[in-house]
Structure 1
Amino acid sequence: MASIELKSVEKWYGEAQVIKGVDLDIEEGEFVIFVGPSGCGKSTLLRMIAGLEETSRGQIIIGGRDATAEPPARRGLAMVFQSYALYPHMSVRENMGFSLKAAGVPKEEMAAKVDEAARVLKLEALLDRRPKDLSGGQRQRVAIGRSIVRDPTAFLFDEPLSNLDAALRVEMRYEIAKLHQALKSTMIYVTHDQVEAMTLADRIVVLEAGRVSQVGSPRELYERPGNLFVAQFIGSPKMNVFPAATPGLRLPAPLPAEAEHFGIRPEHIAIGAAGSGEIDGTVDVMEYLGADTYVIVDCGEAGKLTVRAHGDTGLSPGQPCGLAFEPDQTHLFDAAGLALR
C-alpha cells in the first residue's frame, strides 16, 4: 500500500498536449476515480502512473519514491484492463498464479497466495475451470485475482466493467467495493460511468480536456460543484441550467450582478399549478421509471427542464404547470462558468 503524488504532470504527443499540468495527491488506502468525457485524458493519466506511457514533464511519486523514469515492473503496481486477457488453455488457478510462477516464487507460497485471493474473490469453486467455462463477471474477478496475488502497492483499474452487461456491472461494483474494504489498498479507477464513480470512490477527480476540473468526495461534487462543467457532468439526470436573466423567472430576491447561469437539480423542483413557483411551463414528455418519473417541462426561453417526481404524477403532456425551486438548493455561475455559491 502506497501513496501516489503527481507533480505538474504533462503528456505531449509531438505538438499536441493531452495532459496539461496535473497536480494530485492520493493517500495510502484511498479509492480515487478519474472521470470525464471521452478524450479528456483519464486513461492516458492512468497509463502514465503505471509507466505504460512516458511522462513528458513533471514527476510521479509512488510511496515517497520518484518513479517518473522507472519501468512498469519496478513501480509495484497492478493494472486491471477492460479486456480480461486470460490464457484460454490455463485453469483459473494457473492464470492467477502465472506471474508468480514466472517470477520464480516457490510452489507452496504461490498456492497459498492464489488460495487467499480466491477466498477474497469467492473463486474457490472455480479454480480448476478454464476461462471459457466462466461468465464475464467471473472472468473479471479472475483478472483482479491475478493482480491481488502480486501484493501490489496500488491497484489501477482502466474501465474494468465496460464489457459487462448492466446486471453484471451492478454485481461487480459490489465486488470491487468489498474488495477495497477487505484489502484497504490504494486504488485508482478510470470510468466514464457516473454511477460507478459516485458509489465506489472516496474521492472523484473530474478531468476536462487534460486538466483537473475539480477534486472532491462524491457528495462534495454533487452538492457543491465548483464550475458549470462539473455541475452538468456529475448527476443523472444532469443539473438544469439556464440563463439567470430568463424572462418570466420569479425569484424571491434579486440575483448577484455577476450571475450568468442559474442551476437547479431535478429532485429539487416541485411541480404545481401554473402561476405557482418560480417559473411556468408546459409538460412536454413523461418518462415513467416505476418509483420515479422524469417530467420534461418546456419553459420557453429557459429551455426544457427535467423534474424528478415520485411514481405516478397524474400529469400528462401538454398540461400547463408551475415549477417551484427549493431555495437552498439553487446554484449560480458567472460568465466564466465558475460557481458563485
Structure 2
Amino acid sequence: MGAIELKAVEKWYGELQVIKGIDLDIKDGEFIIFVGPSGCGKSTLLRMIGGLEETSRGAIVLDGTDVTDQPPSKRGLSMVFQSYALYPHMSVRDNMGFSLKTAGAPKSEIKEKVEEAARVLKLEPLLDRRPKDMSGGQRQRVAIGRSIVRAPTAFLFDEPLSNLDAALRVDMRLEIAKLHRSLETTMIYVTHDQVEAMTLADRIVVLDAGQIAQVGTPRELYNSPANLFVAQFIGSPKMNVMGCSFSGSDYQLEGARGGKYTGSGQPAHVGIRPEHITFCDVGSGQCDGEVEVVEYLGADCFVFVNCGPLGVLNVRVGGGETYEVGQKVGLSFQSEHVHFFSSDGAAV
C-alpha cells in the first residue's frame, strides 16, 4: 500500500514560509507529478514527504500512519535524485544490491532481487559493468534499479531526467511510464518539464509560491485551467492572454473586435491556445495583425502575429501551411475553446 495524505503541511525557514498549508490526498498506485516555476517549493515538498526536510506544521500520513516525525529510514520510501550518486568502484550488480547488503539480507535474496530489477529495467547485459562504462541514461536506470530492489511503499523522483540530453529523456520517460505500469507502485515525481508532466502523470499538482494552484489530470488542467497562472503554465507553447472589456453578451478586445460571451461573472481577460486560432480574411475574425515570425518545426508551424494593442499572438498550424513575414492576416478564435478570467485571475 502506498496511500499518502498531506494535512495542512507547512515549511518555515526562520521567518520565511516556503510551503503554505498544503492539503493533498495521493491514492495507492497513483502517479503524481509536482510542477511549478523555480522556487515554488516542489522539491522541498517532495523532501518533506521523504523525511529529508523537517515538517514545520501539519501532518504527513502514510497508509493511515502519521510519519511526520519519523526519519527517512522508517518511512519505507525510496528516492531517486537528479544526481545518479552511484559508487564508481562498484559494478552495476553491487550498486543495486548495496542497500540490501548493508541491511544484512541473505546473498540469495540480494541476487534474486537485483536480477529481477535488472530484468524490468533491461539492465541484464550491464550487471558487471562499472558506472564509467555506461551512458547517462543507463546510469539513471541503475539508480532507479537500486530503489526497486528495496520494494518501497512509494517512489519519490526529484527531476531524475534533467541531466540527460533530449533523446535520452524521451527514452527514459518511456521506461518510467512502463515501470509504473509494471510495478503499480505510488510514484511522486518533481519536474519543470511540461512534456514529462503531461505524458507521465495520472494527476498533476501545480504549485505556485508554496501553494497548490490546481490539482487535476493533464487533460483537466489543459482544457479547464482554474486560473491565469495554470492557464499559462500548463501547455507548450503557452496560452495567448489578452485584456478585454464586457458589455451585455459580448466581450470586446482592445483595439479589435471580440465576440460573444455566454458565461457568468465579469471577465477581464480572454485566453486562447495557439491551436484554437485559425487564419481568416482581414476584418472577418476577432482581430487582425501582421505576421512577425514563422517557426517551422516539421509537423507543426508556429506563426507569431503582431496584433497591435493586443500584443503578439502565437498561432499553431500544420507544417504544410506557409505564411510570409509581413503578411496581413485575420485571426478567428474557436468560440468553444475561448477561456475567460476575472481581474484577479480566476476562471469565470
Residue 284 of structure 1 aligns with an amino acid whose one-letter code is E
Q: Is the 8 A contact 2:243 2:254 kept in 1?
A: no
SS of equivalent to 1:244: strand
Query: 2-side partners of 1:207 and 1:193: how far apart?
Result: 14
SS of equivalent to 1:312: coil
1:258: how far off?
A: 1.2
Aligned to 1:60: 60
Residue 314 of structure 1 aligns with an amino acid whose one-letter code is T
Aligned to 1:287: 295
Query: 1-side partners of 2:32 and 2:233: how far apart?
Result: 17
Provide closer, same or farther for how the CA distance between residues 30 and 292 of structure 1 changes in structure 2, counting only shifts above 3 A. same
Residue 161 of structure 1 aligns with an amino acid whose one-letter code is L
Q: Is the 8 A contact 1:80 1:158 kept in 2?
A: yes
User: Is residue 339 of structure 1 aligned with residue 347 of structure 2?
Assistant: yes
Aligned 1:161-240 pairs, distance under 5 A: 161-240=161-240
1:275: how far off?
A: 1.2
Residue 269 of structure 1 aligns with an amino acid whose one-letter code is I
Provide closer, same or farther for how the CA distance between residues 257 and 30 of structure 1 changes in structure 2, counting only shifts above 3 A. closer
Q: Is the 8 A contact 1:242 1:263 kept in 2?
A: yes
Range 192-201 or range 308-317, more displaced: 308-317
Aligned to 1:93: 93
Aligned to 2:250: none
User: Is residue 249 of structure 1 aligned with residue 251 of structure 2?
Assistant: no
1:271: how far off?
A: 1.0
1:314: how far off?
A: 2.5
Deviations 1:263-293 (A, max 9, x none): 0000000012211211111111000001111
Query: 2-side partners of 1:128 and 1:253: how far apart?
Result: 67
1:315: how far off?
A: 1.2
Q: Is the 8 A contact 2:32 2:187 kept in 1?
A: yes
Query: 1-side partners of 2:152 and 2:320: how far apart?
Result: 50
Query: 1-side partners of 2:6 and 2:140: how far apart?
Result: 29
CA RMSD of aligned residues (A): 1.0
Range 266-275 or range 246-255, more displaced: 246-255
Residue 19 of structure 1 aligns with an amino acid whose one-letter code is I
Aligned to 1:321: 329
Residue 269 of structure 2 aligns with an amino acid whose one-letter code is H
Residue 286 of structure 1 aligns with an amino acid whose one-letter code is V
Instruction: Give the unaligned 5+ runs of structure 1.
Output: none
Deviations 1:182-222 (A, max 9, x none): 00000000000010000000000000000000000000000
Query: 2-side partners of 1:297 and 1:177: how far apart?
Result: 37
SS of equivalent to 1:167: helix
Aligned to 1:130: 130
Q: Which runs of 4+ in 1 moved over 3 A?
A: 254-257
Residue 280 of structure 1 aligns with an amino acid whose one-letter code is D
Query: 2-side partners of 1:201 and 1:140: how far apart?
Result: 20
1:254: how far off?
A: 4.8
Counterpart among 266, 274, 287 of residue 258 in structure 1: 266
Deviations 1:146-189 (A, max 9, x none): 00000000000000000000000000000000000000000000
Residue 81 of structure 2 aligns with an amino acid whose one-letter code is F
Residue 300 of structure 2 aligns with an amino acid whose one-letter code is D
Q: Is the 8 A contact 1:273 1:320 kept in 2?
A: no
Deviations 1:20-40 (A, max 9, x none): 000000000000000000000
Query: 2-side partners of 1:252 and 1:72: how far apart?
Result: 56
TM-score, reference length from structure 2: 0.96
Instruction: Give the unaligned 5+ runs of structure 2.
Output: 246-252
1:247: how far off?
A: 2.7
Aligned to 2:157: 157
Query: 2-side partners of 1:142 and 1:21: how far apart?
Result: 36
Q: Is the 8 A contact 1:281 1:322 kept in 2?
A: yes
Residue 267 of structure 1 aligns with an amino acid whose one-letter code is E
Query: 1-side partners of 2:261 and 2:10: how far apart?
Result: 43
SS of equivalent to 2:169: helix
Range 276-285 or range 193-202, more displaced: 276-285
Q: Is the 8 A contact 2:300 2:318 kept in 1?
A: yes
**Alignment identity in percent?**
70
